[in-house]
Amino acid sequence: MTIQAQIEVLEALAAVDAELKELNDALTQERDGLRSKQTQLSSLDERFERSRKSVEDMERMRNDLLGELRQMGTQVERSREKLSRCRTEREANAAQRELEELRKLYRDREQESEKIESLISQAREEANQLSSEREKLSADLGASQGDVVGRLEVSERDVAEKVTVRDALVAKVTPVLYRRYELLRKRKGSAIAHTSAGTCSACHMQLQPMLFQKLLRADEFGQCPSCNRILYFRPPVPGETENPENA
Ligand SMILES: [Zn+2]
């Protein structure tokens, strides 16, 4: 294959690779967007579940406390009756102390249950907020997921088609040249560069006259001494400036 024919293949390959990169970048972005929403949703699920569980736990605690309070109320009542039945001052003092003690315990429990009640309403509010956030995100995801999946499918098909075109092009390049191409493409994003008037189209390095002369003869590919890309001569397009790369 002549150098000219190989140049054409490499240029076609570079064009396909640029398109593939764009397609794959778009695919990655689309997939990441979808995944990030899904992750957000499952994190909201978890937080909602935790919040709901904590409301339940606290409600159970509060119910236990209310049970205790009822019992203590009965005890207070009994103690009060006992006080009213006292005959001696000593008995009355002892009964009075017991009643005070019980009343204090009752008030403590009552305060505890009020505290829990306010924690419960806070937790409920949080759970409701999480639930509405979750619903919103879930609806958003439900509405967009189908579109995104559809777009992903189309893009994936485009990629597959381009890969087929690419494979056909790769088959036309010698393995040595292809390895060199791939190495550069992976390292730099693009592997080839041309020169029309003595500078590298990729890195704009001014080339040595001897190298430029060698490229003009076009019997082999060159290498840019600055960016290492595969370098070849491309006749300047009439009408374009002498040195478009530096314009
Ligand atoms: Zn260069």
Task: Provide the 3-class DSSP secondary structure of residue 205.
Answer: coil
In this structure, are 40 and 136 located in the same domain?
Answer: yes
In this structure, are 78 and 155 located in the same domain?
Answer: yes
In this structure, are 84 and 198 located in the same domain?
Answer: no
Short-list 49, 39, 28, CA closest to 137: 39
In this structure, are 139 and 220 located in the same domain?
Answer: no
Answer with the one of 123, 139, 170 that is the final residue of a domain.
170
In this structure, are 148 and 227 located in the same domain?
Answer: no
Say what the pLDDT of residue 237 is: 83
Q: How far is the CA of 209 from the centre of ligand 1 (A)?
A: 15
In this structure, are 82 and 188 located in the same domain?
Answer: no
Q: How far is the CA of 179 from the centre of ligand 1 (A)?
A: 18
Total of domains in the chain: 2
Answer with the one of 170, 197, 227 that is the final residue of a domain.
170
In this structure, are 16 and 88 located in the same domain?
Answer: yes
User: Any idea what the CATH number is for the domain that residue 155 is in?
Assistant: 1.10.287.1490
Task: Provide the 3-class DSSP secondary structure of residue 232.
Answer: strand
Residue 61 CA to residue 45 CA, distance in Å, equals: 24
Whether 115 maps to a domain, the answer reads: yes
In this structure, are 151 and 34 located in the same domain?
Answer: yes
Say what the pLDDT of residue 246 is: 45
Q: How far is the CA of 78 from the centre of ligand 1 (A)?
A: 99
Q: How far is the CA of 202 from the centre of ligand 1 (A)?
A: 5
Whether 225 maps to a domain, the answer reads: yes
Are 20 and 162 in contact by the 8 Å Cβ rule? The answer is: yes
CB atoms under 10 Å from CB of 191, counted, come to 23
Whether 244 maps to a domain, the answer reads: no
CB atoms under 10 Å from CB of 193, counted, come to 27
Q: How far is the CA of 170 from the centre of ligand 1 (A)?
A: 23
Residue 247 CA to residue 201 CA, distance in Å, equals: 11
Say what the pLDDT of residue 247 is: 40
In this structure, are 133 and 231 located in the same domain?
Answer: no
Residue 159 CA to residue 177 CA, distance in Å, equals: 24
Say what the pLDDT of residue 240 is: 65
Q: How many CA atoms lie within 13 A of 23 on its CB side?
A: 19
Residue 86 CA to residue 179 CA, distance in Å, equals: 107
In this structure, are 58 and 155 located in the same domain?
Answer: yes
Q: How far is the CA of 25 from the centre of ligand 1 (A)?
A: 25
Tens-level pLDDT at each residue, the chain (247 residues): 889 999 999 999 999 999 999 999 999 999 999 999 999 999 999 999 999 999 999 999 999 999 999 999 999 999 999 999 999 999 999 999 999 999 999 999 999 999 999 999 999 999 999 999 999 999 988 888 888 889 899 999 999 999 999 999 999 999 999 999 999 999 999 999 999 999 999 999 999 999 999 999 998 999 999 999 999 999 988 876 545 444 4
Q: How far is the CA of 200 from the centre of ligand 1 (A)?
A: 5
Task: Provide the 3-class DSSP secondary structure of residue 192.
Answer: strand
Q: How far is the CA of 30 from the centre of ligand 1 (A)?
A: 33
Q: How far is the CA of 195 from the centre of ligand 1 (A)?
A: 9
Tokens of 117: 């009640």
Answer with the one of 126, 144, 170 that is the final residue of a domain.
170
Q: How far is the CA of 159 from the centre of ligand 1 (A)?
A: 29
